[in-house]
Structure 1
Amino acid sequence: MSCDCVGISHAYVIFGATGNLAVHKLLPALYQLHCMGHLADDVEILGCGRTPFTQVSWQAEVRQQLLKQGVADDAALEGFIQRLDYLAGSLTEATFYQALGAWIQSDGECANNVIFYLSVSPDLYVTVTEGLAAAQLLDEAQGFRRMVIEKPFGHDLESARTLQHSLSEHLKEEQIYRIDHYVGKEAVQNLLVLRFANLILEPLWNRYHIDHIQITHAETVGVDGRASYYDKSGGAVRDMIQSHLLQVMALLAMEPPVSLEAEALRNEKVKVLQSIRPVNLEALATHAIRGQYAAGEVKGEAVPGYLQETGVAAGSHTESYAAMKLYIDNWRWKDVPFYLRTGKRLKERRSLVAVRFKQPPMQLFKGSGVYQPHPNWLLIGIQPEDAVRMEISAKVPGLEMHTRQIVMDASVSTPGERKAEAYEELLLDVIKGDRSLFLRYDEVKAAWTVVDPVMQRWADDEQLPLQYPAGGWGPKAAEKIFGDSDRAWRHTLSCNGGE
């Protein structure tokens, strides 16, 4: 979705500018947009935080951080640094917003168009919004005012409703950009191209030909640096399934939109999420599994268990692993299971989509030594490999009729080709006013509706989540989610992906 936005004058205001997200994601992404010519010459970027930086000390800090991340010390970096300014203050005090208003009004043409990025704790979303509204900084009299909100949007369905009600008192829906950086990944966006630009797949993309679909996001890291936050308001379902993995599921399962315009695209995703069958809570153990990593070894290094991490409450029931089996009750996907899985301290860092096709209706080679050929798979690597692979059966050379799996392998990117980071795409889309990759409230509501009953049932369960040793693929009980079928988790893109 490339666009030359050089003519759009605006100011980017980042709340929480000294935090990890801003320093390691937002500012590097804005630097890349600067280098690619997507920022107008007069665009300024204002960092807001409690740390008492001056403009000069803030510029020096950002320069140092970007150099640490491999940015060259050249004219491009110097030009970007000159865009930066800083405003220190407390987000709970009216005087801060008055000072912010004065800064915006002094910003020439950019004062007409302002993007506010809330890179702050979710409990400050309403505080900042009310502060901006009280200072009349959300009024769109001569230009646009856009608010970018990081996930999570609420911590359950009820809190999401409350947050939406509070924001809607001051903002129109068109002003709110609920960001999900996972959807901004090129490999995730490529799902749309695979689905709708290749006629070879569409006739097979339904319940008649697909046995099941797996969506996996595995991490080798634990909760380093954010254990307290993760333990109190996180958990694998909230952190990954409710947002990221359900978004991937929606892109895989949606009907062709009438266009790639934002509302047309989001309408189809919402239909998928609203069609997900409620999880059977009476047989929850066969539909959803939760676990916690115990002490183990990851890549040859001994690591502590979740309950031994600094900041985790004693006896915590917060899950670091979750797997769910979901069904979409519509014409295309009726009774096709979708398996969603995510976990920390697993064997490998990997995100992938694995689509298993059904077996041929007749086993024509049964009398020729080929009794049960392997099923066909479509494998889509999201990270670390950005690839598309197809596994099919072929004859082994020789006189006898034996088959083996062969792989049709296509790397999505070519050597030396730069891939855009997710935040580069998303920050540019905010400038353009393109909301295609941002979540609408009914999307958020539908996603919470799917996972809320499961989380509530687990919250009432006095038993600890299943323990699994760090460095493996999660609790063995996660295999029970497949029932009596011959299905199993695909861990990798290789032919022995179940290993």
Structure 2
Amino acid sequence: MSFDLVLFGGTGDLAWRKLMPALFQAFRHGTLPAEGRITGVARDDMSHEQYRTLIQSRFNSVEGAKRPSDEEFQRFAALLHYVRLDASKAEDFQRLRNHLEERNADTVVMYVATAPGLFTTVCEQLATAGLNTPKTRIVLEKPLGHDLASNRAINQTVRKAFNENQIFRIDHYLGKPSVQNLFALRFGNALFEPMWRREHIANIQITISEDLGVEKRGAFYENTGALRDMVQNHALQLLCAVGMEPPINAHADAIRDEKLKVLRSLKPWTSETLTHHVVRGQYSAGAVGGTAVPGYRAEFGVDPQSHTETFVALRTEIANWRWAGVPFYIRTGKRLAGRDAHIEVNFRPMPHAIFANTGNTANRLVINLQPKDGLELHLMAEGQGTRSGSAGQTLVPVQLDLDFDKRFGAERVGAYERLLLDVLDGRLNLFVRSDEQEAAWRWVEPILNHWKNDTVGPRLYAAGTWGPSASSAMIARDGFCWSEEC
């Protein structure tokens, strides 16, 4: 299959930090179709060779194992081309059209890795230039809008130029190997599915934490915040993967239909739950890894009086027969005590304790997403030095630990690599449908509106901690605790 992959924002941060390394790994693994061409598009004036040199210099920042040798890059560089383009100028899109018509590839992918404000402009210009052909696919990065109305407006514009099956709304968390193994765990094995319900599960916790601050993205983050940046998309998609019913098959719409049902089943917010079940925070000065770091309001591009949240913790429920009464907790934030992303499924304790020390002990399943990638099953086993059946027999916690990186090694495929290959194959399973996005925005919008009327602002937490104490208090009211506190 021949393809042309056009990267709008081809000199930007996402292109060199995520997309180019992922494309190179596919090239190295031999999974990138041979008859391909990758074209960077941006406003900078440079030649094909200058663009290749730029990308090669950026590869120096890629982690060592994924960094190409000079010989590997020279072979990969043969795929790289460049077209100067100003998204506001129709004549520049004609230049792009001429470039693409040189080959007339079987598949054309337009990857819009630009500021969200350019999404509609790019789509309109592509349609005007006749570049929205049936063989064209368009990839849109998050955030797709800043509220429900803007999300609908963007989707309406995009759908004027492309059919729904040509639109790939990307959420890279869905491409993570551990998320894929969550589907396999649930729907490819008979062990867990009978227990995956309210009778056996006490609560489910989703944590996405970063130890980094906003870095040089303060101005962007001021208009986004943690709720829009992480909860509306990544966290809710993970919640859907955990909470969805088994789809009728593995086709894209069957999977996305079940995710949509979860989003529509989330309990609506009330004034009481908005007050007690949502915590927003903002990091102040502190220390991370023994190094002093500034508070959010001292970061470059940030308003010194900013009320933008860098931390969110919330409690919700899925109001259906499988999950009625089971709390789902989500927390995400920047400048926390560590970089970690995991889903923790906490099972109910034994109904009757016959051992001396297991009255409140419960099993846990932890799906690790980053930096570790794998599954942990926490169990109880007999300790040393006690006689079986004795009143004082002691059980100790043990765990079964499946490390996917160790088990599969070099076979592992990164999230962006998997998703880019799926776009080239036309597979929509791991991409988000427009009605999913609208349902997610509809659910988070009451939180945004509540915060607009809240003059107190976010609760401060010291950088290097696990967020404001109100987050711990929220989950403690239900008699539970976050994993690092139990």
TM > 0.5 fold call: yes
Equivalences for 1:300-449 in 2 at 5 Å? Answer: 300-365=290-355, 369-370=356-357, 372-397=359-384, 398-399=386-387, 400-414=392-406, 417-418=409-410, 419-449=412-442
Question: How many angstroms apart in 2 are the aligned matches of 1:433 and 1:146?
Answer: 8
- 1:125 — aligned with what? 119
- Aligned equivalent of 1:3: none
1:285 aligns with 2:275: yes
Letter in 1 for 2:285: A
RMSD, aligned CA? 1.5
Matching residue within 437, 448, 461 for 1:455: 448
CA contact (8 A) 1:280 1:287 kept: no
Supply the distance in 2 between the matched residues of 1:268 and 1:321 (Cα, whole angstroms).
29
* CA displacement at 1:392 relative to structure 2: 1.9
**Which secondary structure does the structure 2 equivalent of 1:413 belong to?**
helix
Mapped to 2, the partners of 1:51 and 1:168 lie a distance apart of: 29
Equivalent residue for 1:172? Answer: 163
Amino acid at match of 2:183: L
How many angstroms apart in 2 are the aligned matches of 1:250 and 1:450? Answer: 13
Cα displacement (A) at 1:66: 2.5
One-letter identity of the residue aligned with 1:158: A
CA distance in 1, matches of 2:306, 2:59: 37
Distance 2:438 2:229 in 1: 16
Note if 1:236 corresponds to 2:223.
Answer: no
For the residue of structure 2 that corresponds to 1:417, the secondary structure is helix
What SS does structure 1 have at the residue aligned with 2:409? Answer: coil
Query: Which letter maps to 2:138?
Result: M
* 1:421-463 superposed Cα distances (whole Å, 9 cap, x missing partner): 1110000000000000000001101111111101110122111
Shift of 1:25: 1.1
Match of 2:199 in 1: 208
Q: How many percent of aligned residue pairs carry the same amino acid?
A: 39
Alpha-carbon separation, structure 2, partners of 1:485 and 1:261: 38
Structure 1 position 209, deviation (Å) = 0.5
Alpha-carbon distance between aligned partners in 2 of 1:483 and 1:63, rounded to the nearest angstrom: 50
Change (3 A) 1:68 1:412: closer
Partner SS, residue 10 of structure 1: strand
Shift of the alpha carbon at 1:465?
0.3
Instruction: After TM superposition, give the deviation of residue 174 of structure 1 in Å.
Output: 1.0
1:40 Cα deviation from its structure 2 partner: 3.4
Q: Distance in 1 between matches of 2:139 and 2:477?
A: 45
Deviations 1:391-430 (A, max 9, x none): 2223333242233222222222326812221110000000
Structure 1: which 5+ runs fail to align? 1-7, 491-496
AA of the residue aligned to 2:437: V
CA distance in 1, matches of 2:277, 2:170: 29
SS of the residue 1:260 aligns to: coil
Q: What is aligned with 2:251?
A: 261
Q: CA deviation at 1:200?
A: 1.2
State how far apart, in whole Å, the 1-side matches of 2:382 and 2:129 are: 72
- Find the aligned partners of 2:358 and 2:181 in 1 and give their Cα distance: 36
Which of 196, 203, 210 is the equivalent residue of 1:219? Answer: 210
Could you tell me how far 1:28 is from its partner in structure 2? 1.4
Distance 1:186 1:417 in 2: 12
Any conservation in 1 of the 2:226–2:333 contact (CA below 8 Å)?
A: yes
Aligned partner (choices 267, 278, 289) of residue 299 of structure 1: 289
For 2:239, the aligned partner's letter is M
Question: Matches of 1:391 and 1:100 in 2, distance apart?
Answer: 55
Which residue is 2:59 aligned to? 66
Within the alignment, does 1:19 sit opposite 2:12 as a pair?
yes
Give the C-alpha shift of residue 137 in structure 1. Answer: 0.7
Q: Which amino acid aligns with 1:357?
A: F
Partner amino acid for 1:376? N
Amino acid in the other structure paired with 1:85: H
Q: Which moved more, 1:22-31 or 1:394-403?
A: 394-403
Alignment-derived partner of residue 468 in structure 1: 461
Offset at residue 246 of structure 1 (A): 0.5
* Cα deviation code 1:57-114 (max 9, x no counterpart): 111212222355343335432221011111113110011101011111112x41x421
Q: 8 Å contact 1:116–1:145 — kept in the other structure?
A: yes
Give the unaligned 5+ runs of structure 2.
none
Whole-Å separation in 2 of the counterparts to 1:28 and 1:438: 20
Shift of 1:229: 0.3
> For residues 68 and 383 of structure 1, what CA distance do their matches in structure 2 show?
20
Partners of 2:61 and 2:30 lie apart in 1 by 23
Q: 2:186 aligns with which of 191, 195, 201?
A: 195
> Which residue identity does 2:100 align to in structure 1?
I
Quick one: which amino acid aligns to residue 125 of structure 1? F
Quick one: distance in 1 between partners of 2:57 and 2:463?
A: 35
CA contact (8 A) 2:281 2:461 kept: yes
- Whether the 8 Å contact between 2:350 and 2:361 is mirrored in structure 1 is no
* 1:216-239 per-position Cα deviation (integer Å, ceiling 9, x unaligned): 00100000011100112x111111
Task: State how many pairs are aligned.
Answer: 477
Deviations along 1:183-233, one digit per CA (max 9) or x if unpaired, are 11111111101111221111110000000000000100000011100112x
